[in-house]
Chain A
């Protein structure tokens, strides 16, 4: 049952993807579109295969920044949400700050961070990814911590459970689906932020820098090959976190 449903849900987008790429190839060839406007899928695939080892190296650099940012942002998001849930004042104080973080494009801070940490360090990129991840992690976790059923609250009170026990045994397990959803959203944001931050300077061995320098050197098909690498990196992050979410929810036995 589950296998059949999964196959069907995956088949439709796969078919759509194949059709779209075929159509793209057809149009580029039929109208003889110049590569600097839109390169053909086969051209991109060619360039991708040719510079595969460089793409993988660059993806490692960007991926590591994104991963460090994801972990830092996720941990701080969860911790701050636990504190904010325990102290009402704190959540009220944080509300405008989080709203600001949610609307300010954090990558715009990249030049500032390069000035702070030096142009040779990746720290600024990791911090940018962390801040981008922090927002959905904080909001989702806080929301999850607040989904406590009154009867469970009563139960903990009847056991004279400490705040620490109530957090560990009731609030946090109850928030797990929300936390994992936040992590899934955060994973894509981490990759995007780490990548875009490279456009503003810093060490030149990442995917973002590879895209800009290929484009600057009029190697448009090459630039697209690096974009494809970035797409795959984002898909990897999303796939892994979505997999963790599905696995954890199945293991914990519904709700």
Chain B
């Protein structure tokens, strides 16, 4: 890891949602985490443990209740205004009246990139996600997995130094999923982008991550951080003994961190 500076520094963050009926949901409690530049960190944990919430706080889409978050040494607001991150949401969130290509080019268009450069970039990204033939289709003509791939391409359009990805591969079939995982690994090595990656799949987290952060709910908190220092991430790793050790380590951390009675829910063991 050639990390010189932290990409994201989360210190003592609490997030409390006030519901309309006057109730309170303690979504995150005393969460601290540092993600180095170029580091790949996965968040894993049962449904409702605050993974999406944490990502939204880093993206400055919701304010923290207490604690601080810095992105590349700046406030989250400044980092958002400087376009320091790209984000892929849990739902694809494509604009239905725009074609696939126009959806991918949306951030470039907003930030004043000229048409020819936009087109070059969207050509690259369409090739990356394997949807060259669908460039002029509208989202309602795509499958769920294809939409998700377009959303991923859109999040990478501006080659951000930080990628925030909320279950981006959840809707993909196993083949496409492994392909996209390999592409993501290659992309991160190429661009040196840091990634915060939410997933429900233990093997996916282990394959992709430098570190896997295990969370537990009510209130959402970090219960374990598992270091995985694989020398390389290629197809061979998927069959490697070290990989299976990693899977076992994350699985036992998940089981240890959850209620003994109920066990983790919403986590796939595939």
Q: Which of A154, A165, A169, A253 contacts B61 (CB 8 A)?
A: A154
User: Which one of B23-31, B80-88, B244-252 is at the interface?
Assistant: B80-88
Chain B interfacial positions (CB closer than 8 Å to A): 56, 59-61, 80-81, 83, 85, 87, 89, 91, 93, 95-99, 106-107, 109-111, 137-141
Interchain CB contact under 8 A, B106 and A158: no
Smallest CB gap from A255: residue in B = B96
- Which chain B positions have C-beta within 8 A of A255? 96-97, 140
Shortest B89–chain A CB gap in Å is 5
A155–B61 Cα distance when bound, in Å, is 9
Shortest A85–chain B CB gap in Å is 18
Q: Does A32 contact B (CB under 8 A)?
A: no
Interchain CB contact under 8 A, B80 and A151: no
- Which chain A positions have C-beta within 8 A of B98? 173
A149–B139 Cα distance when bound, in Å, is 15
Interchain CB contact under 8 A, B89 and A151: yes
- Which chain A positions have C-beta within 8 A of B80? 157-158, 160
- Given A159-B110, A253-B141, A152 and B97 contact (CB-CB distance below 8 Å): no
- Binary flags per residue of A221-255, CB closer than 8 Å to B gives 1, else 0: 00000000000000000000000000000001111
Interchain CB contact under 8 A, A151 and B140: no
Interchain CB contact under 8 A, A159 and B107: yes
Scoring B56, B96, B141 by chain A CB atoms within 10 A of each residue's CB, the highest score goes to B96
A125–B245 Cα distance when bound, in Å, is 82
Residues of A121-157 at the interface with B, using a CB-CB cut-off of 8 Å, are: 149, 151-152, 154-155, 157
A155–B97 Cα distance when bound, in Å, is 16
A159–B110 Cα distance when bound, in Å, is 8
A175–B202 Cα distance when bound, in Å, is 42
A253–B89 Cα distance when bound, in Å, is 23
Interchain CB contact under 8 A, A173 and B140: no
Q: Does A170 contact B (CB under 8 A)?
A: yes
CB pairs A–B below 8 angstroms (11 shown) = A149-B93, A151-B89, A158-B61, A159-B106, A161-B110, A169-B95, A169-B110, A174-B97, A176-B97, A253-B138, A254-B140
If A158-B85, A253-B141 are given as contacts, then 13 extra A-B residue pairs at C-beta distance below 8 Å, sorted by A number, are A151-B93, A154-B89, A154-B93, A155-B106, A158-B80, A161-B110, A169-B106, A252-B97, A252-B138, A253-B96, A253-B138, A254-B138, A255-B140
Interchain CB contact under 8 A, A152 and B93: yes
- Which chain A positions have C-beta within 8 A of B96? 252-255
- Which chain B positions have C-beta within 8 A of A151? 89, 91, 93
- Given A170-B95, A176-B97, A159 and B89 contact (CB-CB distance below 8 Å): no
A253–B134 Cα distance when bound, in Å, is 13
A161–B91 Cα distance when bound, in Å, is 20
- Which chain A positions have C-beta within 8 A of B138? 252-254
A254–B85 Cα distance when bound, in Å, is 31
A157–B93 Cα distance when bound, in Å, is 13
- Which chain A positions have C-beta within 8 A of B59? 154, 158
Shortest B67–chain A CB gap in Å is 21
Residues of A157-196 at the interface with B, using a CB-CB cut-off of 8 Å, are: 157-161, 165, 169-170, 173-174, 176
- Which chain B positions have C-beta within 8 A of A169? 95, 106, 109-110
- Which chain A positions have C-beta within 8 A of B81? 160
Shortest A232–chain B CB gap in Å is 34
Interchain CB contact under 8 A, B61 and A159: no
Q: Which of B87, B95, B99, B141 contacts A158 (CB 8 A)?
A: B87
